[in-house]
Chain A
């Protein structure tokens, strides 16, 4: 956890710098990013469902807020709000867009 936090901090306010490819789960509330891919290591059912929920390459995602105990996280994607657990959001790789 600690190592992660330190790694994230140098990327700026929302835990992400332009052009860096990071897991969606590492983004902080307020951050916006574009989906690059869903990791191939994800179980097929998980990958398929993430795609059907709208997490496909090129899609914009905004981190809305975290639940009180930091998990799950609420995202705004394709004009609606959906929450994912960090474990699933970790499969989605994103790049930051200028914040």
Chain B
């Protein structure tokens, strides 16, 4: 700030002034689109009520001034009942730690639901901050035979009104230009009433003055909902959508995945041919390409998963799914919005846990947080794909479906059912006399999400996956590579141990079998031996504790040491080198099943533990979740192994 220039004159905006603006509005009002259009920054847009739960701040320029724009969580009321609504109110009142009260507000109001939205505007204007109304979906109002006179609306409200079409970017420049002049915005002489009956009278008088004609119901939405929310067809479509969702991820991603895989094989050849230093070539070939590359192969699948989720959300189907599933969720003591949190956990438990902020009840939040890590997140996907490929022949079919896809669907069902049971159990134990907070959910008209908002969502997901690969997975993989290749053995050592030093595969097998990692794996092997895990799998399970995908990287390294050309085949042929089971294959069906079950339950994700800590504010719940899930994983994996042995001789 330029300190002394205000010396007694009018407080004109100085070139370096920073204006703090907050965006307020109900869910589905198009708030996030306006935010994206204003700031050009990345934030997720969607139709699901309450998707903007995390904090989004962007910047833009208005004339000479710099503006920081904060996208507040959507709310229907300034009487908060959920944590995200509380955040919105606290920011408005300047009561949130670490945030300053905004200078001015942009209140986003959807033109087709003015009769409801003006109620919130009345509460917002009562806060006494300079406010500009941003009118969205005015085009849709006209299309649905509604009418509104914007200038009269501004007069009646006593505040500026700017129509904006966020997804087309129309009106955004005008809005941005207006920000600099926030001190000159008109303010209503008397704030509107907040008492519901008086407020209704105020709303009707404003709408009368603005010559408001109500929009006709959205015909297409009504027709589509007649099917999608139909008691029979709606249920059929719901399961069809879920099945298609997972089949698409597998069938569509497979060729892309093969392409990425062949790229890494090519890179591996290049390393073999051109890197002479055995340490460097080992590190590049085994750790980087065999390990991290083995995880990067899953970029297409993860991108596709997030793309489908963003599309379902953007179109408005997710809130329909919540409507359809609410009764089922009620069985376990939760509500429809918890279903959406759990569905997001298919992508990653972290956004799922963060989405619980839309839940009004603290106990519902805890139950959902403890259930979310059981949903099959995208980090489990690579592990399941690898393990299922060891279990089922890719060409095996059952009717029109590939058996691999069906087993995968089964894993997703296992995770979902377990999550539900966990929530039910938690609610039974903790919540016997909870107060009932209202459940309500807006079903917005079906809208085509803008390509931009979908791309932003997918790009964010891909970016954070790549970041994870380049940090935590890379570090763990590199550390493991060292552990797998140390100590060094001289040729004399090898020869005295009876190893053919002319055969690189035999040498690397010997080195791996006598490495520090092997020592560590053998140390913990007794814990996992009842599950059928040998030291290599045990090391993999330990390394997966940092992030689940590392398991694939670890086995990838082990396999690359055996046979770099055909890693999957190498794993299938992996045998116990010594001990009582010497010569037997490691990945027998019972062991693979036990591994699948172990990964379905164990909380092997430090980021999830961290986010539960942050959201609950205590270490108690992350520790409860960790202990309970890891214990459960072991017991159920043991049972699964025993059962498989019984039925598959």
In the complex, B120 has a CB within 8 A of chain A? yes
Contacts of A49 in B (CB 8 A): 76-77, 79, 81, 438, 440
Please state if A45 and B81 are interface contacts (CB–CB under 8 Å). Answer: yes
Contacts of A74 in B (CB 8 A): 229, 323, 443
Contacts of A71 in B (CB 8 A): 326-327, 330
Interface size on B, residues (CB 8 A): 43
Contacts of B439 in A (CB 8 A): 72, 84-85, 88
Please state if B440 and A84 are interface contacts (CB–CB under 8 Å). Answer: yes
A52 to B199, CA, bound (A): 10
Chain A facing B: main interface SS: mixed
Please state if A69 and B327 are interface contacts (CB–CB under 8 Å). Answer: yes
The answer to whether residues A82 and B324 also contact, given A53-B76, A74-B229 and a CB cut-off of 8 A, is no
The answer to whether residues A54 and B326 also contact, given A49-B76, A74-B443 and a CB cut-off of 8 A, is no
Please state if B77 and A83 are interface contacts (CB–CB under 8 Å). Answer: no
Interface size on A, residues (CB 8 A): 35
Q: Identify which of A57, A77, A83 gathers the most chain B CB atoms within 10 Å of its CB.
A: A83
**Minimal beta-carbon separation of A22 from chain B (angstroms):** 20
The answer to whether residues A54 and B119 also contact, given A59-B200, A68-B234 and a CB cut-off of 8 A, is yes
In the complex, B582 has a CB within 8 A of chain A? no
Q: Identify which of A56, A58, A69, A81 gathers the most chain B CB atoms within 10 Å of its CB.
A: A81
Please state if A79 and B119 are interface contacts (CB–CB under 8 Å). Answer: no
Please state if B438 and A67 are interface contacts (CB–CB under 8 Å). Answer: no
Contacts of B199 in A (CB 8 A): 56
In the complex, A11 has a CB within 8 A of chain B? no
Please state if A79 and B76 are interface contacts (CB–CB under 8 Å). Answer: no
In the complex, A2 has a CB within 8 A of chain B? no
Contacts of B444 in A (CB 8 A): 80-81
**Minimal beta-carbon separation of A48 from chain B (angstroms):** 5
Query: Of B81, B200, B230, which one neighbours A56 at CB under 8 angstroms?
Result: B200
Please state if B119 and A52 are interface contacts (CB–CB under 8 Å). Answer: yes
In the complex, B642 has a CB within 8 A of chain A? no
A61-99 contacts to B (CB < 8 Å):
65-72, 74, 76-85, 87-88
**Minimal beta-carbon separation of B532 from chain A (angstroms):** 42
A14 to B232, CA, bound (A): 21
B211-261 contacts to A (CB < 8 Å):
214-215, 217, 225, 229-232, 234-235
In the complex, A8 has a CB within 8 A of chain B? no
* A residues apposed to B, CB below 8 Å: 43, 45-46, 48-54, 56-59, 65-72, 74, 76-85, 87-88
Supply 20 further A-B pairs (C-beta < 8 A) apart from A74-B443, A76-B217. Answer: A46-B436, A49-B77, A49-B440, A52-B76, A52-B79, A52-B120, A54-B115, A57-B197, A65-B229, A67-B323, A68-B230, A68-B235, A72-B336, A77-B116, A80-B444, A81-B442, A82-B441, A84-B439, A84-B440, A88-B439
The list of the 7 closest CB pairs from A to B, nearest first, reads A52-B77, A69-B327, A78-B116, A78-B115, A68-B231, A51-B196, A80-B113
